[in-house]
Structure 1
Amino acid sequence: MLELDHLAVTAPSLEEGVAAVEAALGVALAPGGRHAHMGTWNRLLSLGPGLYLEVIAPDPAAPRPAWPRWFGLDTRAAVRLTNWVARTGDLEAALAGAPTGTGAAVDLDRGDLRWRMGIPASGVLPYDDCFPALIQWQAGGHPSERLPDAGCRLRRLVIGHPRAAELTVHLALADPRLVLVVDSAIGMVAEIETPAGVKVLQ
C-alpha cells in the first residue's frame, strides 16, 4: 500500500515560491536543503506526523543537470501546487505496478537523509502530473520528524483530471483526505487547516 507523503509547490525561484505560500497560509516555512542530483532546493512545512509540504525550485547556485528536473521544474513559470508524493516500503514493486512513465528508481540524498524515488525520464509524471511520484525513505528518518509544528494539517487534497477514474485504479492508496474527481480542468487543490482557519493552495 502507498501512503500520502508530501505535497510539492513548484516555483520559478525559491524566494517567489516561499513568499506566495507564506502569504497564502499565514505561517513561516522551515529551512530545507539542496538536491545536488537535480539542481534544486526547497523549504518545508510540517502538515503533521508523516506529512509535509515543500516549496521547490531550481537552485541558481547549482549547475543545470543533464536530464530534466523532477516535477517539470524546467518549464514552471508560476508558483503552483503541481505534484504530490506517495511513499512505499518497496519502491521496485510499486513502480512495477504503476503506469508507464512513473520512472526508474534513483538513489538520492540531502544532508543525512537518504531515499529512493521514481524519476520519470521526461520530468513529468503520468496523467499530466496528477499521478504521484513514488518514494521510499531510507537512512535519516522522515523529514516531518525534524520540522517544527506550525499548527497546519491537510484537510483535503482534491485532484481533478478527465481520466480520474482510470487514475484511481492505479492507486493502491486509501486516505480519506485524498479526493479524485473527473474534471476537464487538470490540477490539484489542497485545503489546509492553519491557526487562522482553513486556507487553500492551488
Structure 2
Amino acid sequence: MLRLDHLAVSARTLAEGVAAVEFALGVPLVPGGQHPLMSTHNRLLGLGDIYLEVIAPDPDAPDPGRPRWFDLDRFEGRPRLTNWICACDDLAAALAVAPRGSGMITDLERGDLRWRMAIPADGRLPFDGAYPALIQWLGNQHPTRRLPEVEVRLERLEIAHPQAAALREALKGQFDDPRVAVIDGPDMDMRAHFTTPHGPRVLE
C-alpha cells in the first residue's frame, strides 16, 4: 500500500516559493538541503505525519545533465502545489503496478537521510503529474522526525484532472487516505486545505 508522505510546492526560485507558502500559511519554513543529482534545493514544513517541501532549481549547482524531477525544467508562473509523494515499503513492487512512465528506481541521500525514489526519465509523472511520485525511505530516519511543530495539519488534498476516473482506477487498491480526493476538472490542478494557528488556509 502507498502512504501519503509529503506535498511539493514548485517554484522558479526557492525564495519566491518560500515567501508564497509562508504568506499563505502564516508559519515559517525551515532549511532542507540540496539534491546534487537533480540540482535542486528545498525548504520544509512539518505537518504532523507528513510534511511539505518547497522545491526549486538550485542556481549554484551545475546542470544535472538530465531532466529535473517534478518537471521543474518546464515550470513557469507563480509558486504552486504541483505534486504529491507517496511512500511504500517496496518500491519495485509499487512500480510494477504503477502506470507506465512512473519512473526508474534511483538511490538518493542527504546527510543521514537515505531513500529510493522512482524518477521518470523525462521528469514528467503520469497523468500530467497528478499521479504520485513514489518513494521508499531506508533506515529509521525521516524528515517529519526532525521538523519543528507549528500546528499546521492537512485537512484535504484535492487533485483535479480531466481523466479523474482513470487516475482513481490507477490508485484503486494501492492508496486509501480520507484526506485525498481525486476529482474531475478541465486541467490538472491541486489544492490543499490546512488547519493552522491562524484558522483555515489553502494552498493551490
TM-score between the two structures when normalised by the length of structure 2: 0.97
Q: Which residue of 1 aligns with 2:185?
A: 183
| Residue identity in the other structure for 2:76 | A
Q: Which runs of 4+ in 1 moved over 3 A?
A: none
Deviations 1:40-70 (A, max 9, x none): 0000001102x00000001111101111000
Deviations 1:93-123 (A, max 9, x none): 0011000000000001111100000000110
- Asked whether the 8 Å contact 1:114–1:140 carries over to 2, the reply is no
Q: Which residue of 1 aligns with 2:166?
A: 166
Q: Which residue of 2 aligns with 1:24?
A: 24
Q: Which residue of 2 aligns with 1:36?
A: 36
Distance 1:77 1:162 in 2: 21
Structure-to-structure mapping, 1:73-112, within 5 angstroms:
73-78=72-77, 79-112=79-112
Q: Which residue of 2 aligns with 1:131?
A: 131
| Residue identity in the other structure for 1:114 | R
Gaps of 5+ in 2: none
Distance 1:38 1:74 in 2: 11
| Residue identity in the other structure for 2:59 | P
Moved more, 71-80 or 37-46: 71-80
Q: Please state if 1:201 is matched with 2:200.
A: no
TM-score between the two structures when normalised by the length of structure 1: 0.98
* Aligned-residue CA RMSD (Å): 0.8
Count of matched residue positions in the alignment of Structure 1 and Structure 2: 201
Distance 2:164 2:141 in 1: 32
- Asked whether the 8 Å contact 1:91–1:105 carries over to 2, the reply is yes
- Asked whether the 8 Å contact 1:112–1:140 carries over to 2, the reply is no
Q: Which residue of 2 aligns with 1:117?
A: 117
Distance 1:157 1:138 in 2: 26
- Once the 2 structures are TM-superposed, how far is the Cα of residue 16 of structure 1 from its aligned partner? 0.5
SS at match of 1:21: helix
- Asked whether the 8 Å contact 1:2–1:173 carries over to 2, the reply is yes
| Residue identity in the other structure for 1:108 | L
- Asked whether the 8 Å contact 2:164–2:184 carries over to 1, the reply is yes
- Once the 2 structures are TM-superposed, how far is the Cα of residue 30 of structure 1 from its aligned partner? 1.1
SS at match of 1:166: helix
Gaps of 5+ in 1: none
- Once the 2 structures are TM-superposed, how far is the Cα of residue 76 of structure 1 from its aligned partner? 1.2
Distance 1:31 1:149 in 2: 14
Distance 1:158 1:41 in 2: 26
Q: Please state if 1:152 is matched with 2:152.
A: yes
SS at match of 1:92: helix
- Asked whether the 8 Å contact 2:112–2:141 carries over to 1, the reply is no
- Once the 2 structures are TM-superposed, how far is the Cα of residue 140 of structure 1 from its aligned partner? 5.2
